[in-house]
Amino acid sequence: MQTTKLGKFKFFLFLSLFTLIASQDKSVSLEYDTYIKFHWKGALTSHSITIKTFPNLAQLKKDGLHALLFLYKFTDSTQIKVIESYTLTFGDDEANPVAETQLSSLDSNIKYYYAYVFSRDAAFSAETFMNIHQNAKEFHFKTLDIALKPMNFSFGAASCVDTGSSSPVFTNLTNEKLNFFLHMGDLHYENIDTDNVTRFYDGYYSVFNSSTQKEFFQSTPIFYIWDDHDFGEDNSQGTSPSRPAAHTTFKNFVPYGPLKGYLPEDDSSIFPDKAPSADKVNSVYTKSYTSDDPYGIFRSFLVGRCLFIMMDLRSFKDVLPKDILGNEQKVWLENQFKYASVNSQVRFVFLVSPIFWIDTNDEGEWKDYHDTQTKIATWADTYVYKKGRQIMVLSGDTHAMAFDDGRNNYFGGFPVLQAAPLDSFPICAGGPYSHGVYVDRGQYSVINVQDNGSSEVCVHIQLKQYGTTLIEYDTCNPSLYPGTEGVYCPKYIVGDSPEYGWVSLIILGVIAGIVAICLLIWYCSRRYKDKKADEKAERLIEMTQSLENRDILNNSR
């Protein structure tokens, strides 16, 4: 007991001295918000994560401080063990400084914590940090379980955010405590149509400057793929002049895993005694396609026994006539399906299509590429369904939230989840959807994967608006959520976007014009009838008077 009291006394003495010294000469600081503008993390695996940190470099230089990142675990409710410390190096680009920190050799399925320290001495000791960590701003993440082994997890997916939005929906997302989040595009609406990296940097900084987005992205690992408005102009293509700048800034700003990988990485080389090894040499894979094309951010990764395939539907769209994937991505995509087919440990495929998938009215951008949709449907049938696996498409793009259990998906018949907009003007296209359509702001999905090791992985989806569930479905219990034949988008949903404001003004103008013409016709016909009635009455009066005059004349005779 005495030792504990003495220990506490020593600790508070140390803390007081530390605070006193730090406040006097700024040799050490824990003021995260003074020295760091923003950080986010991605490329999460069972053993690693990438953190990108954006400093207030001028302030760090002014105060002569180094930025350090300490990674630690809790050994009990108060005690921590420092795993590693990293001195951050902020690259060569003075205008847009960023430090990339790869945390590796981590244990699987463990919650890790980290905090930033700013010190005049780059060799700040772990022991000193352990004594002061309570005063530091603390962040965390949880590593995934070993790839290709059963794992329960939850993740979010959504798209479409007005530039710099501070919507409370990001606070809802922070509170979901997701393992990770799939951002399916339109991170901002800068619609940059030139090869201008400065404008792309400004787009990213607008996200950092939003308090609610900053809080969310600092809390949750991210997997981000772009759509049209954050790649180029509206409905942008691979021919957009913005393509080089979009790629340069993505690689600088975004924490991402291996791009364009031949097949997803398993964990057999990391945990050789524990991790299943996937077959990567099977003759069904196409290996002949080689490319040194620097463009494209398509990629795939494993979470438990789920394979995530993220398509890049912008970088190659219409680079070749009537083509959306490009030759390299086409071969790559079929290889990912073949991987699911060959490796029995893969039980569920999530295919990310930033452009909305179900579109019987041909209102969206897939309409010009139905051949590709048909090809993907064939691959899904051959390599997924016929092998006893399942697949679901996750999509964004149109600003509506919906779910279809597959009955209206004429390209593959698999379930389709549509999750947008996080915070942008509500507008709806595509469908129909068996489980309803919601057209409003503040919308996102939470997907809960339950895997008990049997042949079937259960996927429970919730489509939410500001934290309230509006649509629900469970692949293992579909009878609980029967749905209907199909709900279409409500037509002419218009929001507060200037472009759609003009549409609504034109529609209202036309309606007002028709009403005015009808009123004019009605008024003229009334006037004409009144005039005729008056004339008739006048004639009657004249006739009556003439008859009366004749009677008076006759009587007087």
Binding site for Fe ion (CB under 5 A): 160, 186
DSSP one-letter code for 79: -
Task: Report the nearest approach of Fe ion to the CB of residue 161 (Å).
Answer: 8
Please list, residue by residue across 438-453, b when 16 or more beta carbons sit within 10 angstroms of its beta carbon and e when fewer do. Answer: bbbbbbbbbbebbbee
> How near is the Cβ of 458 to Fe ion at its closest, in Å?
30
Nearer to Fe ion, 231 or 348 (CB): 231
| Residue among 340, 339, 307 at smallest CA distance from 449 | 307
Question: Which token pair is 232?
Answer: 């180029």
* Rounded Cα gap, residues 295 and 67, in angstroms: 33
Total Cβ atoms within 10 A of residue 52: 19
Question: What is the closest distance, in whole angstroms, from the C-beta atom of residue 182 to Fe ion in the complex?
Answer: 15
Given the complex with Fe ion, which of 233 and 474 has the nearer CB atom?
Answer: 233
- The per-residue DSSP string of 281-350 comes to --TTS-------------EEEEETTEEEEE---STTTTTSTT-SSHHHHHHHHHHHHHHHHH-TT--EEE
**221 neighbors 139 (Cβ within 8 angstroms):** no
SS3 487: strand
- Minimum Å gap between C-beta 173 and Fe ion is 17
The answer to whether 179 touches 155, Cβ cutoff 8 Å, is yes
Instruction: State how far Cα 341 lies from the chain centre.
Output: 28
Nearer to Fe ion, 224 or 339 (CB): 224
Question: What distance in Å separates the CA atoms of residue 93 and residue 336, rounded to the nearest whole number?
Answer: 36
With CA atoms as reference, report the closest residue to 352 among 306, 318, 288, 321: 306
Q: Provide the minimum distance between the beta carbon of 452 and Fe ion in the complex, in angstroms, as a whole number.
A: 37
For Fe ion, the closer of residues 119 and 240 by Cβ is 240
Q: Among candidates 81, 72, 78, 144, which has minimal Cα distance to 113? A: 72
Please identify, using beta-carbon distances, which residue of 160 and 416 lies nearer to Fe ion.
160
Residue nearer to Fe ion on the CB measure, 343 or 443: 443
Min dist CB 362 to Fe ion, Å, is 19
Nearest residue to 85 (alpha-carbon basis) of 53, 42, 115, 50: 115
Cβ atoms within 10 Å of 470's Cβ, excluding its own: 17
Q: Is the Cβ of residue 257 or residue 431 nearer to Fe ion in the bound state?
A: 431
Q: What is the largest CA-CA distance in the chain?
A: 146
Q: Which is nearer to Fe ion, 186 or 405 (CB)?
A: 186
> Whose Cβ is closer to Fe ion: residue 160's or residue 342's?
160
Looking at beta carbons, which residue is closest to Fe ion?
Answer: 160
Residue 71 CB, shortest distance to Fe ion, in Å, is 36
How many CB atoms within 10 Å of residue 253?
Answer: 23
Cα separation of 425 and 486, whole Å?
24
Nearest distance, CB of residue 396 and Fe ion, angstroms: 7
First to last CA, the chain: 144
Helix or strand (DSSP H, E) at 327: helix 326-342
Go through the chain and tell me how many residues it has.
557
Q: Are 80 and 130 in contact (CB under 8 A)?
A: yes
As measured in angstroms, the least distance from the Cβ of 171 to Fe ion is: 21
Residue whose entry in the numeric block shows the structure tokens 């996080």: 422
> Strand pairing partners for 470?
none
Q: Read off the tokens for 31.
A: 């003021």
Residue 186 vs 404, nearer CB to Fe ion = 186
C-beta closer to Fe ion: residue 230 or 265: 230
Residue 506 to residues 509, 510, 512, 513: CA-CA distances in angstroms? 5, 6, 10, 10
Residue number with CB closer to Fe ion (65 or 400): 400
